Amino acid sequence: MTRTLITGGAGFIGSHACVEFVQTGQEVVVLDNLSNASLRSIHAVERITQKNIPFVEGDIRDADVLGKLFHDHEIDSVIHFAGLKAVGESVEQPLKYFDNNVNGTLRLIEAMTNAGVKTIVFSSSATVYGTPEHCPISESAPTGAVNPYGRSKLMVEQMLQDLFASDPAWRISLLRYFNPVGAHASGEIGEDPNGIPNNLMPYISQVAIGKLPFLRVFGDDYPTPDGTGIRDYIHVVDLARAHVQALKFLRREPRIAIHNLGTGQGYSVLDVLKAFETACGRKLPFEITDRRSGDVAESYADPTKANCELEWRAEFGIEKMCADSWRWQSSHPEGFAD
């Protein structure tokens, strides 16, 4: 039976994707170097699905590991999550990001070419839109990343577009995620950031659990209804389901395609805080501080293309995103270290 290779499958989004693929009756094999994940997430996926998940600890930049992987397993497609994602770190260590994200993807594509596997779903990001001219953002909006992380995503998109132009036998899905949050409803897997979180939802979660004293709201003077930044938060399980649909789409329509993955609904920082307070049952302390440099006032998707072409729609709202994040955080205060 053919399998889908899930690179970065031990990570936040990858582990949720593993669950969706296995629960829809598909065989997977996971490759992850565990640089930002724990093997415990794979064990948790096994508990949720009641299935054994073949796992290889290794790096996408390692040609020997990839060669053996494609030799040992009958792989017909790749869902490519592996990569680094911290914007601030990418500014400080750009080469690390270009090596992991761009060179890593190049090595992966070479190994796929050698193995005759020409179907790939790539984790891109709404960050490729840079400072959007207007919202909602459709796939035809101009791109222009504003930091090395974003540029690494754009470079990979361009590399894959050039690859398709040279060989139309490739089937390539470029998925531009908006803001993935939430956790699996079982409370077994979720986001487990290292150190102090940069992103809003894990930060609020840690305030709610008492690990951090208060939320800093980065600016309340944006041209938005309550003055705080607006984003399109998407439940990670909805996002994971979109990957199953993207692979089905590529099997139906052998081509390259770009899709935005968001709900189309924007929420402000204060909206998210309020929804989280409802989920955890108490008021959470916050302070308004200066804007964070590089932040845009608002970013939310026009998900129409994904809705139509992938036959997919985000189902879960902000209440469930917060409730599931809280279930994961409150049952695993130390993440997978618990």
Q: Which residues bind ligand UDP (CB under 6 A)?
A: 179, 198-200, 203, 215-218, 229, 231, 269, 292, 295
Is residue 149 part of the annotated active site? The answer reads yes
Contacts of 67 (CB under 8 A, 6+ apart): 111, 114
Q: Can you tell me the distance from the alpha carbon of 196 to that of 62, in angstroms, rounded to the nearest whole number?
A: 30
Output 159 or 209, the one with its CB closest to ligand UDP.
Answer: 209
Q: Does 10 bind ligand NAD (CB under 6 A)?
A: yes
Tokens matching residue 321 = 């995103």
Q: Which one of residues 4, 21, 32, 240 is an interface residue with ligand NAD (CB under 6 A)?
A: 32
Residue closest to ligand UDP, measured at CB:
229
Q: For ligand UDP, which is the closer residue by CB, 46 or 271?
A: 271
Residue nearer to ligand UDP on the CB measure, 73 or 235:
235
Residue for token digits 């750009």?
94
Residues near 210 by beta carbon (within 8 Å), at least 6 away in sequence: none
What is the side-by-side order of every strand in the sheet holding 75-80? 55-57, 27-32, 3-7, 75-80, 119-125, 171-177, 256-261
Applying CB under 6 A, which of residues 79, 83, 155, 206 lies at the interface with ligand NAD? 83
What are the DSSP calls for 57-83, one per residue?
E--TT-HHHHHHHHHHS-EEEEEE--S
The item of ligand UDP, ligand NAD, none sharing an interface with residue 12, based on CB under 5 to 8 Å by kind, is: ligand NAD
Please identify, using beta-carbon distances, which residue of 126 and 172 lies nearer to ligand UDP: 126
Four-residue CA torsion sign, 160, 13, 241, 276: negative
φ, ψ at 318 (rounded to 5°): -60, -30
Judged by CB under 6 A, the stretch of 75-83, 225-233, 271-279, 312-320 that binds ligand NAD is: 75-83
Phi, psi (degrees; rounded to nearest 5) at 48? -65, -45
Is there a contact between 307 and 143 (Cβ–Cβ < 8 Å)?
A: no
149, 177, 203, 300: the catalytic one is 149
| Interface region with ligand NAD, contact rule CB under 6 A, candidates 58-66, 245-253, 267-275, 290-298 | 58-66
Which residue among 4, 5, 6, 12 contacts ligand NAD (CB under 6 A)? 12
Residue 206 contacts which entry, ligand NAD, ligand UDP, none (Cβ below 5-8 A, type-dependent): none
Q: Rule CB under 6 A: is residue 69 a binding residue for ligand NAD? A: no
The alpha-carbon radius of gyration of the chain (Å, integer) is 19
Binding site for ligand NAD (CB under 6 A): 7-8, 10-14, 32-37, 59-61, 81-85, 100, 104, 123, 125, 177, 180
